[in-house]
Structure formats: structure tokens, C-alpha cells
Amino acid sequence: MAYSKEIPANPVVAIAGATGAVGREFLKVLHDLDFPAKEVRALASARSAGKKIHFEGCGSVPAGDLVVEEMTDKSFEGVDIALFSCGASVSRQFREAVLASGAVMIDNSSAFRMETDVPLIVPEVNPQDIEWHSGIIANPNCSTIQMVVALKPLNDIAHIKRVVVSTYQAASGAGAKGMNELYDQTREFLDGTPQEELTINAFKHQIAFNCIPHIDVFMDDASTKEEWKMVVETKKIMGDPSIMVAATCVRVPVLRCHSEAVFVEFDEPISAEEAREALSAAPGIVVVDDPFEAQYPMPAMMAGSDATYVGRIRRDSSVENGIAMWVVADQVRKGAALNAVQIAQLLLP
């Protein structure tokens, strides 16, 4: 059953997980987009209650400190939109409380993404799916988001048959602990600490000066859950179960921004120039593609930005109708907080 309550033009917004990396980014994005909020509540676990988080303000909310409240079932009374970034178990725990309050949950975890009555939305790709939500809307996996943003304009001119993607995912994809481990291990390594004595906690192996082809848990078919997410989420967002996707997801020693090498096979011919023109005209995409002048997207230069950057657009001659491209986006912004707030914008009257 579709959600029937109308979201007001100036909604009350709750940030669930406000003290985390994505929670804080939610606040930055609300300010940057000047989201027309009437009130913003910062919610977190009991141990964070009472902390203050500075907020630059948005809508009717002035700049100042937000006092973090302990998140309970009563926290959502009077809330219109709840932006969640607390992990799947917490999202499931508070699902009924959010729905009972009449709020809409926009959830950044994997808890509800593949439920049939929960739309999985990237506003540049499938904004129309907002119409059939029943109180919960899922934010896709960060790696999937940037890839489908780049796939949509290409699929509009030639149907996509198959996608092969290799990801180069930043340490911050594992949260603050991932970034800290990259910093700490790099110092240890450069200070001459033996490899076997490096501090390893956030990842299965050394991340400094290394690449780890292991993100999330391994499944029965020897793919990882991160790779599985890219497969099934792409089909759902694109609304096309016939698209075949093969993914290899790799953690690399980059602080922020995920990069992807994407190879796309189409049912009909498409030239590199046609692909470049379609990508250049698409919302949310910036094409940086002048390889002979060494111009292409790179994660170190894109941190903190909102766009999905595409470059190295060229023909893939290994298949009959193929295009290769390189896609970079900030996975904390477009891959999480920005995408969720853009979904919230779709809810406004």
C-alpha cells in the first residue's frame, strides 16, 4: 500500500546516526542544498546523547549547535522525514516506530533495499519510483549509485546488455576506522615497522600500499556481498532484470572517493562520441575526458564534490557493441548523504 500522508513544504527532519561520518555529512548536505526544514533533530545512541554538533543551518533552522538526543521509539513523534545511517540492525529496530509516527524513513543501510515494496532510488535514474513507497525508501550501495548514474544516459540511447565493473574503493568506505587505519599504517610503514607488526583492525589485511579484493563477507559462490549488491541493486534501480552485471570490488589505499572501471555491452552499436555526448548532457554528471592532456577523474581531486565524474570514455573492442569508461564519485556525498537528501527533495510538494 502506497504512503498516503503528504509531506509538508517545510518538514521536520530527524538525522538518525547524527554523530557518524554519514550523519554529519547529512547535516552538511542539508545546509549546502538549503533544504527547507522547519526543524532538524540529531539522534544517536545513548552514549552520544548530550553531545553538541555544529550545524550551519538550512530552511527555517538557524546556524548553531544541535544537541544530540538518544534515539528511542518516541524520537520520531512529529517527524516528517527520518534520514537513517545507523546500520541495518538499528534501521530494522526502529522501522515500526518511524512508520507509526507517520514519518518517511530514507535508509542508508542494506536492511530494506531488496524488499519488493521498498523503492531503491537514485534521483537521476528512477525518481518515478518515489510514487509507490510505503513509508520506507532505500538508499543504494555507494558503488552502485555512481555506476547507475553513469549507465542511465547510455541506456537511454542503446539498451545495456551486460556490465563488467571493477571498483577501487576508498578506505573511508569502512568508516572513520578505515581512514584512521590507512593513516596509522602508512606512518608505521614509513617508520620502518615490519609488515607482520603493522596494526590491522579495520581490514583483513594491510591497507597501506596495498589493494584488498575483499569488501564485505564472501558468499557461497565466492563473490562478496558488496559485489552481489552491485548486481541485484543495478537491476532493481534500472528496472531491468535482464541486465547482466559482473563485479569485482577492491579496497585501495585512498582516503575518500570510489573509482570504477566500467565496461558496458549494448544490444546495438554506440560510438564513444555518442556516449560522451549523452553523459555530458546528463544531470549529476561531469565529463572530464581529455586523456592526451592527462585530464581524467581522480579520487584525490574529487573529494567533497557532489557530481559523478566520468572519463576515459572509449570503445571496448573486445565485444561487438562495447564502451569502456572510468567513473569517480565521493561515496560519502553522492554515494550516501547527498543521494538521501535528494530523495527527500523528491518527497516535497
User: What is the pLDDT averaged over residues 130-143?
Assistant: 97
Q: What is the pLDDT of residues 44-96, one digit of tens each?
A: 999 999 999 999 999 999 999 999 999 999 999 999 999 999 999 999 999 99
- Asked whether 293 and 185 are in contact (CB, 8 A), the reply is no
- CATH code of the region 12-111: 3.40.50.720
Strand partners, 251: 169, 212
Cβ 155 vs Cβ 321: under 8 Å: no
Average pLDDT over all residues of the chain: 97
pLDDT tens figures, 178-217: 999 999 999 999 999 999 999 999 999 999 999 999 999 9
Q: What's the pLDDT band for 3 if we cut at 50, 70, 90?
A: confident
- Which residue from 122, 164, 169, 170 is spatially nearest to 325, judged by alpha carbons? 164
pLDDT at 29: 98
Beta bridge partners of 315: 323
β-pair partners for 61: 58
> Thinking of the domain 145-331, which architecture would CATH place it in?
2-Layer Sandwich (3.30)
295-313 tens-digit pLDDT: 999 999 999 999 999 999 9
227-256: pLDDT as tens digits? 999 999 999 999 999 999 999 999 999 999
DSSP character at residue 317: T
Does the pTM of the predicted model rise above 0.85?
A: yes
Interval 156-186: pLDDT, tens: 999 999 999 999 999 999 988 999 999 999 9
Grid cell digits, residue 295: 585530464
pLDDT over 70, % of the chain: 99
| Domain parsing of the chain, residue ranges | 12-111, 145-331
Tell me how crowded residue 234 is: count the other CB atoms within 10 A of its CB. 27
pLDDT given at position 235: 98
How far from 153 is each of 59, 300, 342, CA to CA, in Å? 32, 26, 19
Tell me the catalytic residues.
142, 258
Q: What is the pLDDT of residue 200?
A: 97
DSSP-based three-state secondary structure for 47: helix
| Residues 68, 16: Cα–Cα separation, whole Å | 10
pLDDT at position 227 is 98
Q: Is 298 exposed, middle or buried (0-12, 13-18, 19+ CB in 10 A)?
A: middle
Distance (Å, rounded) from C-alpha 208 to C-alpha 12? Answer: 42
Helix segments in the chain, DSSP class H: 21-32, 88-101, 142-155, 176-190, 225-238, 272-281, 299-302, 338-347
> 5-9, 104-108, 116-120: lowest mean pLDDT where?
5-9
pLDDT of amino acid 236: 98
* Dist. CA 275–CA 299, nearest whole Å: 22
* Confidence label for 1 from pLDDT (cuts 50, 70 and 90): low
H or E segment and range at residue 262 = strand 258-266
Report pLDDT for 175: 85
